[in-house]
Amino acid sequence: RWFIFLPNILGKNGNPVAENFRMEEVCLPDNINEGQVQVRTLYLSVDPYMRCRMNEDTGTDYITPWQLSQVVDGGGIGIIEESKHTNLTKGDFVTSFYWPWQTKVILDGNNLEKVDPQLVNGHLSYFLGAIGMPGLTSLIGIQEKGHITAGSKKTMVVSGAAGACGSVAGQIGHLLGCSRVVGICGTHEKCILLTSELGFDAAINYKKENVAEQLRESCPAGVDVYFDNVGGNISDTVISQMNENSHIILCGQISQYNKDVPYPPPLSPAIEAIQKERNITRERFLVLNYKDKFEPGILQLSQWFKEGKLKIKETVINGLENMGAAFQSMMTGGNIGKQIVCISEEISL
């Protein structure tokens, strides 16, 4: 079975829905060629950046658009059932950023990366989340753009704080030396989780509370580092309370992804004036520019996880047929932590 992308009525300004996708039954070839492997898909990832792939122009040169009536792809992990690749054998666990949304698939072995289940204590889906690209984005983003040093008593604010990156970023902020971490999210349940389980010092429900007021209360010394997952009005409010020489880590702008605007979206004139006046850095951050830091980053995240210093949250939906629903839910905040779709839990051969 595989999932294909359909245009329906979606445009650059549309909200994605489950009906933008369709599942089909197909037959795989009987034989694989030299260098190829046949894999069974275990877990697939749905992520905010995928909304850009639903446009003819993704707005970036490193993300290609999904093709209409073609198989969708994204982050995935699976187990090799048959191999004609010299470095991969039956039973190996492998991952790819361009994994087709299929239950079984034949892939070029050179495009796959072998993963070690011991790094995640057997929780293979974590390689698509906290000990994968979202975790690396959080860690490297904070290291490269946050300018946090141990004992510097900085205050960090995280928007989209209960999502795949935000839930990890807040914890990393503390681990790297922030004295105070405040999260912004959209439900009371998420707020409780952030403060009771993930170590955030405070959490603000932007749908129910006055964000500006709550920020002043939660960040009496102002904001030094802002890990921005959402953009829009929330980010304007945070930026207006940032200190001189503070730093914005531009991770994502999910509030803007259903609109036809450039990335990163420009600030309003009033907020841009604050940014310049206070010398606040707001540089585009792309984790793919830091591939040399991936291996040590994964090892660090794994170590924190094993030591109990990094708590990992997931929202898991079962079945390839639910990929579209999972994507729609993630885009509207239905997930806590990483949104994962389990395709097959059977890891034995």
54-106 pLDDT, tens digit each:
777 656 676 777 777 778 889 999 999 999 999 999 999 999 999 999 999 99
DSSP 8-state assignment for residue 230? S
Q: What percent of the chain has pLDDT over 90?
A: 68
Q: What is the DSSP letter of 151?
A: T
Q: Answer yes or no: do 90 and 144 share one domain.
A: no
Print the domain residue range for 116.
Answer: 2-129+313-342
Average pLDDT on 231-249 reads 96
124 and 138 in a common domain: no
Query: In total, how many domains does the chain have?
Result: 2
Asked whether residue 254 carries a pLDDT value surpassing 50, the answer given is: no
pLDDT of residue 14: 61
Q: State the pLDDT confidence band at 6, using cuts at 50, 70 and 90.
A: low
Q: How far is CA 248 from the centre of its chain?
A: 17
pLDDT of residue 255: 38
pLDDT of 23 reads 81
The CATH number linked to 153 is: 3.40.50.720
pLDDT at 49: 73
Give the residue-averaged pLDDT of 207-216.
Answer: 97
Do 111 and 154 fall within a single domain? Answer: no
Q: Are residues 9 and 114 in the same domain?
A: yes
Q: What is the mean pLDDT of the chain?
A: 89
Strand, helix or coil for residue 166: helix
Q: Is 297 part of any domain?
A: no
Whether 294 is in a domain gets the answer no
Residues 205 and 111 in one domain: no
Q: Which two tokens stand for residue 142?
A: 């904070």
- 336 is written with which tokens? 């806590």
C-alpha to C-alpha distance for 98 and 100, rounded to whole angstroms: 6
Check whether 242 has a pLDDT greater than 50: yes
| Distance (Å, whole) CA 157 – CA 222 | 10
Query: What's the CA gap between 72 and 194, in Å, rounded?
Result: 33
Is the pTM here over 0.85, yes or no? yes
Among the ranges given (39-48, 83-92, 167-176), the one the predictor scored with the smallest mean pLDDT: 39-48
Handedness of CA 308, 312, 317, 319 (dihedral sign): negative
What's the average model confidence in pLDDT over 137-165? Answer: 94
- For residue 301, tell me if it sits in a domain: no
Same domain (yes/no): 141, 284 = yes
196 and 108 share a domain?
no
Whether residue 221 is contained in a domain is answered as yes
How far is residue 279's CA from residue 36's CA, in Å, rounded to a whole number? 52
d(CA 107, CA 73): 12
Residue 267 lies in a domain: yes
Is 97 within a domain?
yes
Compare 66 and 135 and report the one with higher pLDDT. Answer: 135
Query: Is 33 part of a structural domain of the chain?
Result: yes
**296 belongs to a structural domain:** no
Residue type, position 116, single letter: D
Span of 2-16, 210-224, 244-258 with lowest mean pLDDT: 2-16
Q: Are residues 149 and 283 in the same domain?
A: yes
Same domain, residue pair 84 and 109: yes
Backbone conformation region of residue 285, classed left if phi is above 0, alpha if psi is from -120 to 50, else beta: beta
How far is 246 from 139, CA to CA, in rounded Å?
18
Q: Tell me: do 166 and 22 sit in the same domain.
A: no
Indicate whether 37 pLDDT > 60.
yes
What pLDDT, on the 0 to 100 scale, is given for residue 342? 96
Check if the beta carbon of residue 112 is closer than 8 Å to that of residue 94. yes
